[in-house]
Structure 1
Amino acid sequence: MDTRRSEQAGEASRSGIRAQGGSLAPGRVVGDGRYRLLAQFGVDERAAAHLWRARDGQLKRDVALTLLVGDPADPEAARLARRTLERAAHASKFGHGGVARVLDVLSLGSGVTSSEGLLGVVVAEWTKGSDLVDLVAQRPVAPAAAARMVQALAEAVEHAHQNGLVLGLDHPQRLRLTPNGALKLAFPGPLPEATLRDDVKALGAVLYLLLTGRWALPGGPPAIPAAPLTPQGLVVPPRTLVPAVPPELSSLAVRTIEDGGNGGIRTSSAILRVLGQVADEEERTQLIKAVGEGDEAPADGTLWTTKKPVKDVARRRKLAFGVTVLVVATVVILAWGGLMLINLFQGDSKASGPTINVAAPSSQGAPPPANSAAPPPSSPAQPKIGAAVAPKSAGVYNPEGSGDNSGRAKNTIDGDPGTTWRTDQYQQQLPVLKSGVGIVVSFDNPVNLAQVKITADSPGTKVEIRSADSKNPKLDATKVVGSGDLNGTDTTISLQQPTQSQYFIVWITQLGDDSGGGFISEIGELSFLPAG
């Protein structure tokens, strides 16, 4: 493996090494004579960083070296190298299974001499396993496996960002796949100008690479083809290249890489949530398939699993609400029954016969004359409501970008409130990032809609009901016909007047608060009630 990776570095990379750092080759000793180079694993040309496996002659162990090659007489190159070394030194205090531990940082005059043609060295523990480039060289990784690999790496990014650290994993040759199937940053050393956003974009690029075998960020290695672009300059979704990729993963990769637009994903926590949903869904699918084969399933149909039950917070809230309503109803019934018994016994103790009212009749309580007209109603009569009409289809409506969790939009009309669709988690409330997001439904034929019932557990969410002339219209081409706030489990929104259309949009204009400090809304079921 090491020899093949050394050969794949290419003549272009080797010529660059000779030009800037002398003859870096296996067997050479660097770092004041302590580290002997064994095999090269890549070149990050953006920072003239050469990635090597080496042998620590003092401690008799293998290490990963990030060699910063350059001319010590070039002040700008020296300044950028110092910045990279400073960031690597800060990372030495960070511990996580997804990042190789930084053991030492060598700079000019402190472990590195000008005669070596190096501006600095980052020394990290060696990561056993395989090279990421070799992993995707033959064929893309299965979507479920790709989700699990990136999930472990995203956990490291989330932990690092909470500590204010940039990891700098936006180059595939800096990553390695461990024997237990997790991705790990094997060659630490972030670029001088790298930001937290660059780490998040790198997660999307790594997912894209695993799903398609192509790299979607600038500065990738020559051994990996670049991701194709649309005429608008956007990255082509992975699902277009590999149809087997689930829509959720394809959308996640593209939206994480995107710089502009209001639909981009900018936090590792949002990535982790989507990856967790995909992993859970895949586990359930594989479990059903295994039982369906019948080879290992018990004869009585009992299914055994060691997987921990998934905590469904929304379902637990709904259960608690239902129990509370049941208790209150029971107390009311008991109190009413007690009052009836008291009245019964009090009536028996009194003399029977009609009650005579000896007080003078009040003019206020007198019945109106027979020929008097009834007063007009104070408000127009409400339309009669018919039985709910099931839509033909449901999809995410987001005219300003790709949809939030598009693959789960069908859960809003499947008849099961326990299966939900939720928006992405946003760090800022609408309409800062986008004007809104919602669900568009279409019917086989136009319906004369009067009410929309929304089953959801997202207090604080504000919605509008909009009618449309097509399945994917522009927002200004739709018409607001009703609005309301989601409070409690079920919310019924009455339209201003019955509206006939084949397409309706449940448009979220304000998200609910998330316990993690962000904003998110979730819908379990939508019911559409026409005028009777």
Structure 2
Amino acid sequence: MPSSAGPSIDTITEGGRVTQVGEGQEAEESVPPVMTFGAPTAGEILAERYELVEHINNDSAGRLVWRGVDVVLRRPVAVVLRYPGGDSATEMLQAAVAASRVIHPNLVGVYDAIDEAERAYVVREWVDGQSLREMVADGPLDPGRATAIGNAAASALAAVHATGMVHGNMHPGTVMISQEGRVVLADARTDGADSRENDVRAVGGILYFALTGHWPHAEAPLRGATAGHGRAAIPDGVRDASGAIAAPRQVRAGVPAYLDDLTMDLLDAGIAPPPSDVLAAELGRLDIPIEEEPYPEPAGPLRFAAETGDEPSPLASVGGRKVAIGIAGLLAVALVGLLIGISALGGDDDPLQTEPVARPSSSAPASGAAPAAATRKLSVSDVRIIDPDSKLRDELGGAERVTDGDQDKGWDTDTYTQPNFGNRKSGMGVWIDLGEEHTVKSVQVSLSATGASAQLFAGKTDPPSTSAGDKLLFTSYRTNPVGQPFEEHDGTTMTFNGFDADAKYRFLLFWLTALPSNDRGYQVGVLEITVQGS
């Protein structure tokens, strides 16, 4: 009986020849098709609906890949046939049905999965385009294009992960770009043999490759690949004498610092990656129309928490990549679009299984190590403005807008004649109560303008909201700074780290020490404060 399915199919244009499998999956000419009799012929119609038009190639399992036409809906399709059907095709068909439940525009669609005993076949969407590997062969991509591709890949992963499955096979040959610019993730394993964490780390590999033209995971073997196919043919990343990978900014000019940091954090086995939906949300925030304006260079990217005491990498950029931590507490919004899924092309037993996911070889946790607690956005129980040097105390309103999730509204200081609050205050800030003690990974503060100076403190007391109470609070908190202060910061986002992984925190104080200038004087707005932890 026909049944809907959802693995993915890719297309690659190679000198006028189109392949419908991910790179590294096309079989050598010496690999015979798995067939016992009755080779299909052009013009044959399967299931009284799918007409075979042209034999494209065979995949690494020997399955035959054909370009076809759905004669009912009059649309092009790809047909992957396996001989024989029956028990030998059970896993292929079951995996196709399972993957079809994933609906996302960045996953190739599957239309049918049919077993006719003597043969079985999966009917999929036909996509014209090229792989990321082929695209980068002409040179590394600009940061806007690379970010857009990374965003699409992370969004596809978020959809796959939401079903409880993993992709397990992301690399430059399974990330496809159609002629219309649509980014498609293909050749998923979906067998649960890999992990969501490795899927997310693979996005770092995709970003690194798109930005540099080098693959950072040469140590990860390409199962079933031969010279000239898949990861085996991709240049290894630039490394130092110890084997450490160079950051994208060290390989080529023009890579924004925050995109460099994000990519290297994803590749760092010592830094826990965020969930795929959070990563997709951040890449979506950074993503801009590619051809409209120069790529911005804001400071304060999404960062992931490093263990306290980690030594910075010898290749880390100035300022220390590993010391900045935190994950934006955004959730990716699921896109509703084409009824599409994930490819069933792959290994002999599992049609969705092709190659292991791209990942650092050291990404697996040490034997016996407890899994890290999931990092999430922490809720805020109370928030107020701390202004110990004010007699009027007329700048306390609007504190609740700092943690309401709206980046367009926040709390604003008054306008002063000098950056140091008109030489009348040592500073003022925003106090946050998390309601109970938590392990905190990072605090990210979004400001309305660049040029501000600020610090973050932690404390144990909650004095009353009076001038005396604020003075007592600041006096006790200032002895416990968190991370490094920002001085005349050239971005609008400040990310604080340096939290003790073994300590618990409830009360935090974001403290402004200098204001940026505008056309009226010196003033800033605190638009949003996000606390990440567990």
Scaled by the length of structure 2, the TM-score of the pair is 0.49
* Greater RCO (CA < 8 Å, at least 6 residues apart): 2
Whichever structure has more helix as a proportion of its residues is: 1
Scaled by the length of structure 1, the TM-score of the pair is 0.49
